[in-house]
Amino acid sequence: MKTPVYLDGHATTPMDPRVLAVWERTARDHFGNPASTGHAFGWAASRVVELAREHVAGLIGATPREIIFTSGATEADNLAVLGLAGAFEGRGRRQLVTSNLEHPAVAGPLAWLAGQSAWELTTVPAGPSGLVAPDDLAAAVTGQTLLVSLIAAQNEIGTLQPLAAVGEICRAAGAFFHVDAAQMGSGLDLDVERDRLDLVSLSGHKMYGPKGIGALYVRRRGPRVGLRPLMYGGGQERDLRPGTLNVPAIAAFGEACRLLQLEGAADRVRIGGLRDRLWQNLQDNLPDIQLNGDAKARLAGNLNVSFGGVPPGRLVGALTTLAVSAGSACASAEGRVSAILLALGVGPELAAASLRFGLGRFTTEAEVDFAATQVVAAVRRLRAGS
């Protein structure tokens, strides 16, 4: 077993060797520009792109024409929120609804719109476990609601939102429903028809694919979603995302989606078992610890735990043989205490003594047991020192 052991799968996932092989083969053999329609190199690259589009669509129950390739989930989120607002500006509906647990890639553009006079933002607070109650959301949605945007699986605490129930509420009100599904590779299962989704953001590097590639699902039927582009020029991706397509990354992303569709259900069972094993080990050996997030409605690979009696901000630094985090990668980079945990009512000191474990496809039982041993030892040491 190599150290440090990687348990930060919600920040990014290692590329699956099968996905890497597709990336390398495509970069070598299909370097043509898909927009070059006058020769075989362009045709071959275009076929690669369209095959990947089929794989992405198949993962979420969409059709290939509903998939727009982007540089990642952040761009997809911005295109969904700002693009929809731009397309419907001045057309009657002016309310936007979201939760207090959103990733900055959604919270940011929504906050920007809220600063403009044409838009009103309503934030529905989640319960203590991170679940947004459908009744609370239904009470917030009105005849003026254009968009409801929720994170499908919270990237810090792993809580899964009741998408199908929210989708029904949105459809009945005539509002569009966008979900940030960046955590697809950590055990999220969704279907755009079953869950009544109109816009879905995806990220390649969170599902064992490359960085710098993602997609936005844009519904084309019952109802059709119109977006105003954020960039202009080139005409690629139905004029919604101009620029020369990154064919190797798109091909690899498509392969990652194909593998996830084939293996995701089995992955969720195995990874969920490892997560439960880790949590049980910590419970058996450490008093005064707290699980953050919903105990049942959560990502298979997610475990977020607060450790009482540990000096704030010390725990991650004490675990030199583990790659874990105290929260989202964005918050960690700025040294901030998790705003998500604070929003759930976790005290500042306890929030600053928390760990987020992100288990994944390549996590082993031996690594989980090793991680538990290291965390128990570090917590005991820090408690004794304090």
Among all residues, which ones are annotated catalytic? 330
Q: 214 pairs with which residues across the strands? A: 70, 203
289 three-state secondary structure: strand
Q: For the chain, how long is the longest CA-to-CA vector?
A: 72
* Helices of type H across the chain: 17-29, 40-60, 73-88, 104-114, 134-140, 163-173, 247-285, 315-318, 329-334, 339-343, 348-351, 365-385
Measured CA to CA, the distance from residue 217 to residue 67 in angstroms comes to 5
What backbone torsions phi and psi does residue 92 show, to the nearest 5 degrees?
Answer: 105, -60
Structure tokens at 332: 């960690």
CA-to-CA dists, residue 273 to 55, 238, 300, 360, 363, angstroms: 28, 42, 8, 11, 11
Contact (Cβ atoms closer than 8 angstroms) between residue 343 and residue 337: no
Measured CA to CA, the distance from residue 207 to residue 201 in angstroms comes to 13
Which residue has tokens 């041993």?
A: 373
Measured CA to CA, the distance from residue 53 to residue 221 in angstroms comes to 18
